[in-house]
Chain A
Amino acid sequence: MSDLATQRLIAQLVPKGSRVLDLGCGDGALLDLLQRERGCSGYGVEIADGNVIKCVQRGVDVLQLNLDEGLTMFGDASFDVVLQIDTLQNLRNAEIMLRETARVGRIGIVAFPNFAHWPNRLSVARGRMPVTRRLPYQWYDTPNIRVGTFKDFEVLAQRNNLRLLDAFGLQNEREVRWLPNARASTAVFKFERS
């Protein structure tokens, strides 16, 4: 997900000039791109020490916080856009964090690995958990503790009264809009509170 092409695809979902909160911002590359090319401002939230330093080096404002402790620091609708790019699946309280994302941001954008991508289905059909370029971990060491699919997220979004503004898959740095649940290794959703 750190490749530039993917980042540009995500960046296009963010309205120009937005005030952005990027949850699990990694090394700050996406926020940096949004600041430089789309006139955005905002903060990244990151837990890993090395990534915090990289953000500071880039001049991206970063807050070292544990997302599993919630977003109490951030006020209601205090950001135009809240991003959770490859973050949701690592969180113990994924549903609460999804609700928090919708509370803090006027728009939420979530991207996560789609477990229903056909090679994953094939692997499970053969009796083994998938290990792919997108999911490079073994079942016993994966940080992806929330394993969900494109369709699963649609159900979760409805359950939490989120209105989907856009939803598509990503595969090989391209948008997948036809059968994304089977054809894309990454699911992308843009939503707001309904």
Chain B
Amino acid sequence: MFEAVPQSMSFASPLALRSGVSVADYTLAYETYGTLNADKSNAVLICHALNADHHVAGSYAGKPKSEGWWDNMIGPGKPVDTNRFFVIGVNNLGSCFGSTGPMHVNPATGRVYGADFPVVTVEDWVDAQATLLDALGIRTLAAVMGGSLGGMQALSWALQYPDRVRHAVVVASAPNLTAENIAFNEVARRAIVTDPDFHGGHFYDHGVVPKRGLRIARMIGHITYLSDDVMNEKFGRSLRSAAEGESVGSSYRYSTQQVEFQIESYLRYQGDKFAEYFDANTYLLITRALDYFDPARAYGGNLTAALAKATAKFLLVSFTTDWRFSPARSREIVKALLDNRRSVSYAEIDAPHGHDAFLLDDARYFGVVRSYFERIAVGSEGSAAS
């Protein structure tokens, strides 16, 4: 276990957003692991998904249980080996873990942003990440990598800054969200917005948090991150009473409001936990960024035309039981890259865990990622091919 040190950097020049608005005086929280080599050719950027942050790997001093969210994937000797690579994790703009977000004061008004925080897109995040790399003196990334919404950022990097990305690793992602996927996001947003404690997004002024909405948003999310099989295997129809040590075969409570089944208990627990730390406005912003992402839109829906700009080499990974970001969506990206004659490898991992699989240990998944990164040339190392 190695030590992670949170850092942050502030930027004075405003960042122009896709909405036409700009953010002035923004701060990005980030962490780095490993050492940037002399010719700065070993930098790897990790992009995070909905509820994660810049704390990707390692643990904080004195807090052994504070491992980063992708600590199984990234670190010394791990598939993304920090003995070779200089890995950067960045918290995205509008998030609630250190970078400028809706809970911070808007310098223009002197008031907390709240609902007035500008809508940010995947492209805006990538622009912001690029300003951080500029400040760190990193011109070209050996690789950019992300899962789910993070994978969208990795793909967008290859389109927005093609000459700054050598490899793009896109895991459990999609070229845009389907209607069903937007629908899940909308239910989650409505749960938050209709919570009486939301106060139109200015709940900070009222000293409350729309926890009811956040809980339900998280419960919905969790259902979509798991597969039917894994949910049945983990919880099945077991009753909570059995887990609490009451006599086995105990009967129903015949209550509509008490927790009866284990799965209910699990979802409520996840919802409660989430509502304690996640910002409601951030949830709205991030789900909206997911909805808006659609690089083919400017090309009449033609993904092949949209990806013509990408010159990076690609690795795509999907998971067979992931129905939120299904293999078919990853294959659309693969096909568009093939049409453009780009270098691409694609692994479709037969894992039972649904969308969550991208965060879990799996020898095949990790084996592919490890092998891919081993081939990425760094500095003056001789043998690797690219």
Of B181-189, B231-239, B337-345, the one contacting chain A is: B337-345
**Distance, CA A4 to CA B264, complexed state (A):** 59
State in angstroms the CA–CA spacing of A61 and B386 once bound together: 12
Tell me the nearest residue of chain A to B367, going by C-beta: A53
Say which residue of B331, B350, B385 sits within 8 Å of A59 (CB atoms): B385
In the complex the two chains form, is A73's CB within 8 Å of B368's CB? no
Bound together, the chains give a CA A43 to CA B344 distance in angstroms of 8
Tell whether A49 is near chain B: CB-to-CB under 8 Å. Answer: yes
Contact across chains for A61 and B345 when beta carbons are under 8 A apart: yes
Q: Mark B350-373, 1 if CB is under 8 A from A, else 0.
A: 100000000000001001100110
Interface string of A51-73 (1 = CB under 8 A from B): 01101110101111100000001
Query: B344–A63 contact, CB under 8 A?
Result: yes
Q: Does A137 sit within 8 A of B, measured CB to CB?
A: no
- Bound Cα distance from A64 to B345, whole angstroms: 8
Q: Which of chain B's residues has its CB closest to A47's CB?
A: B348
Q: Counting CB contacts under 8 A, is B103 at the interface?
A: no
Name the A residues within 8 Å of B112 (CB-CB).
none
In the complex, A74 has a CB within 8 A of chain B: yes
Residue of A19, A64, A73 most packed against chain B (CB within 10 A): A64
B345 partner, pick from A49, A63, A74, A75, beta carbons under 8 A? A63
Which residues does chain A contribute within 8 Å of B368, judged by CB atoms? Answer: 52-53, 56
Q: Is the CB of B345 within 8 A of A62?
A: yes
> How far, in whole Å, are A19 and B338 apart by their CA atoms in the complex?
12
Q: Is B347 an interface residue (CB 8 A)?
A: yes
A49 surroundings in chain B (CB, below 8 A): 347, 349-350, 364, 367
CB <8 Å contact, A62 and B346: yes
Shortest CB-to-CB span from B304 to chain A, Å, is 10
Complex partner residue of A73 from B331, B341, B372, CB under 8 angstroms: B331
Using known A-B contacts A53-B367, A57-B371, A57-B374, determine if residue A73 contacts B348 with beta carbons closer than 8 Å: no
User: Are B334 and A63 in contact (CB-based, < 8 A)?
Assistant: yes
Separation of A57 and B384 alpha carbons in the complex (Å): 10
Which chain B residue has the least Cβ–Cβ distance from A66? B348
Q: A43-B338, A74-B338 are in contact. Are A59 and B386 (CB under 8 A)?
A: yes
Q: How far is the CA of A73 from the CA of B344 in the complex (A)?
A: 13
Highest count of chain A CB atoms <10 Å: which of B334, B347, B374, B385: B347
A49 to B372, CA, bound (A): 14
Report the separation of the CA atoms of residues A64 and B365 in the bound assembly, to the nearest whole angstrom. 12
C-alpha spacing A177/B386, complex, angstroms = 42
Interface membership of B78, Cβ < 8 A = no
Interface residues of A in 28-66 (CB under 8 A from B): 43, 49, 52-53, 55-57, 59, 61-65
Would you call B253 an interface residue if the criterion is a C-beta within 8 Å of the partner chain's C-beta atoms? no
A56 touches B345 (CB 8 A): yes
- A73 CA to B348 CA, complexed, in Å: 15
Give the shortest distance, in Å, between B175 (CB) and chain A (any CB).
14
Q: What bracket does the count of chain B residues touching chain A fall in?
A: 20 to 34
Q: Which residues of B contact A56 (CB under 8 A)?
A: 315, 345, 347, 368, 371-372, 375
- B40 CB–A CB distance under 8 Å: no
Which residues from B are CB-within-8-Å of A59?
375, 385-386
- Contact indicator A53/B346 (Cβ below 8 Å): no
Q: Report the Cα distance A74→B339, complex, angstroms.
A: 8
Residues of B within 8 A of A75 (CB): 339
Residues of A within 8 A of B367 (CB): 49, 53
Q: How far is the CB of B316 from chain A (nearest CB, A)?
A: 9
Contact present for A73 and B338 (CB under 8 Å) = yes
Q: Is B335 an interface residue (CB 8 A)?
A: yes
Cβ of A63 and Cβ of B375 under 8 Å apart? Answer: no
**Residues of the A chain whose Cβ atoms lie less than 8 Å from the Cβ of B374:** 57
Closest-by-CB residue of B relative to A63 is: B346
Known: A49-B364, A59-B385. A64 touches B346 (CB 8 A): yes
Contact A64 B348 (CB under 8 A): yes
Distance (whole angstroms) from the CB of B220 to the closest CB of chain A: 31
A67 to chain B, nearest CB (A): 13
Q: How far is the CA of A63 from the CA of B346 in the complex (A)?
A: 5
Binary flags per residue of B98-111, CB closer than 8 Å to A gives 1, else 0: 00000000000000
In angstroms, Cα B383 to Cα A57, docked, is 12
Residues A61 and B331 in contact in the complex (CB < 8 Å), given A53-B367, A56-B368, A74-B338: no
Q: Contact: A52 with B385, CB < 8 Å?
A: no
Most chain B beta-carbon contacts within 10 A, residue among A19, A57, A61, A62:
A61
Partner of A57, one of B338, B339, B350, B375: B375
CB distance from B29 to the nearest CB of A (A): 33
- In the complex formed, the residue of A with least CB distance to B365 is A49
Report the minimum CB–CB distance from B83 to chain A (whole Å): 19
Least CB distance, A21 to chain B, in whole angstroms: 9
A78–B349 Cα gap in the complex (Å)? Answer: 27
For the complex of A and B, 9 pairs with smallest distance between CB atoms: A56-B371, A49-B364, A57-B371, A53-B367, A64-B348, A63-B346, A59-B385, A73-B335, A64-B347
8 extra A-B contacts, CB within 8 A, seeds A52-B345, A53-B371, A61-B343: A43-B338, A49-B364, A52-B347, A56-B371, A59-B375, A59-B386, A62-B346, A64-B346
- Residues of chain B at the chain A interface (Cβ within 8 Å): 315, 331, 334-335, 338-339, 341, 343-350, 364, 367-368, 371-372, 374-375, 385-386
